[in-house]
Structure 1
């Protein structure tokens, strides 16, 4: 029989400090990240939140710096997140750290224009190739990628992850597990957010004249490359000790329909999931996190569907 699962309790740093006594929590986690984690009320009203869909068999508390001021735009923004740095490197001890990072960096890299200030942008500073630079058709969607740009992006991700681990290991949380997720594969489409941001991939692929028939495969390739990069980091335990990466690309998410501009499939807009999408990924990721926290062998579990308690 499956044990009872409850959503973790999410608090802002201010709420955490005000409450004081948190002995009821079996596990206490520190979280930060991009809009997939952002849980300020205005953000929740706009789209779902992966963090609040995590479920555990023991009372679990997460103090989230995501959305406390602004969600991370880039991984390097962690340096300018005083709440996160103070809580990670101060006197507080945590059972683990949850991070949602890398997705905004991938989108930003895809958005770098081919021409800037009248001058061509070097290939090592962008992810996409202009039509005159495309490779042979036999290369598939790889013909549109700048491998030089991907090498730059990979170096940036690795350097930032090492910095995060150095922050962890510079205080009382030395060696504590860090949990990261990969991202689901979005459908490039004209579906922006309620705050007028976005769409994100859709205009980038149009600007580079990439055929619409290849958009879905392009999106999958980019997100899969990021997942492979993050998993390779986690596998390198010498440089990235106790880093755990969950491959969200393996969770069956209902794709949005091409050309739609609103909620479609498991998606709220182009790059943010709705509640059913968040539940599917969070349910599977929770299993991995709890296995590490409890020291039990991980039993793979991929949800067949359904929705979380919070509705869709």
Structure 2
């Protein structure tokens, strides 16, 4: 098994280091959030999923995620011109598949939406994921009592619309119909563990201040995080199952991979987590190796018994 060879769009245009894409059996185009980021400080601290993907035959990826948080929001395609060009331009390469890491940052931002805006006006439930204490449901609902289903419906439609747009871009170019691979996210432990990214400045934590601002019981934080991440996983899997609206979409359920959770209240690397929402090297290894198998089965499906290639 060989690690995925990773290049950048800049490498393709370089006279001195341009890779020979023809030397690889599988050529992938990658774009995503910080789980794919090329930032050196991120790679040194907690790696990324692409680094840990492995294949039985030579495979490469041109990673457009860059050094920042490209596609921090799905609508940020305008800030990802290399990805759009390499995906949809008539003269772009024919990719074996597209790797996407998207939706997680949007989910966190939706959870961070406050109950009141800067002017003190109440933000309606359909525009946020969490409920104020006076809006909580009955205790019999469990942690779902804190969750805004109207807000979730808004987020879900937003994500569906933008993934459909990405698939449309794919089908405008030479890679029309090629598989698009997305992963779900692992369940983070809300805790005071931010990042000290030398390129982006200190950031985070992310969920921890949001749950505190809504005065949600600390004993329920882990379950609230799990509820939101499982909602996202179910949404992504339902999209992949809808082959008419989302043709060629393949979703790997990362929630099925056993990870060592971070210790509640910890502020540094803990378990398989580098900070509150980013995996460390061991966590990236576990998710990526399982995702590799999922991708391989699509790119190189097993030959039925009695048949030859």
Q: TM-score range by the shorter chain?
A: over 0.9
Give, in angstroms, the shift of residue 23 of structure 1.
1.9
> Where do 5+ consecutive residues of structure 2 fail to align?
305-309
Higher mean alpha-carbon deviation, 213-222 vs 18-27, is at 18-27
Cα distance in 2 between the residues matched to 1:20 and 1:276: 29
1:128 aligns with 2:137: no
Runs of 4+ with >3 A deviation: none
CA, structure 1 residues 232+280, in 2 after alignment: closer, same or farther (shift >3 Å)? same
Q: Per-residue CA shift, 1:212-260, capped at 9, x if unaligned?
A: 0000000001000000000000000000001000000000000000000
2:5 corresponds in structure 1 to 9
1:176 corresponds in structure 2 to 178
Give, in angstroms, the shift of residue 20 of structure 1.
4.8
1:240 aligns with 2:246: yes
TM-score for both structures, normalised by structure 2: 0.93
Contact 1:291 1:297 in 2 (8 A): no
1:208 corresponds in structure 2 to 214
Give, in angstroms, the shift of residue 68 of structure 1.
4.6
Give, in angstroms, the shift of residue 80 of structure 1.
2.6
Contact 2:40 2:67 in 1 (8 A): no
1:263 corresponds in structure 2 to 269
Show the 5 A alignment for 1:1-312: 5-18=1-14, 19-68=18-67, 70-90=69-89, 91=91, 92-116=93-117, 117-195=119-197, 196-296=202-302
> Where do 5+ consecutive residues of structure 1 fail to align?
299-312
Give, in angstroms, the shift of residue 42 of structure 1.
2.9
TM-score for both structures, normalised by structure 1: 0.92
Higher mean alpha-carbon deviation, 272-281 vs 47-56, is at 47-56
Give, in angstroms, the shift of residue 75 of structure 1.
1.0
CA, structure 1 residues 70+271, in 2 after alignment: closer, same or farther (shift >3 Å)? closer
Give, in angstroms, the shift of residue 269 of structure 1.
0.2
Partner SS, residue 22 of structure 2: coil
- Number of matched pairs: 294
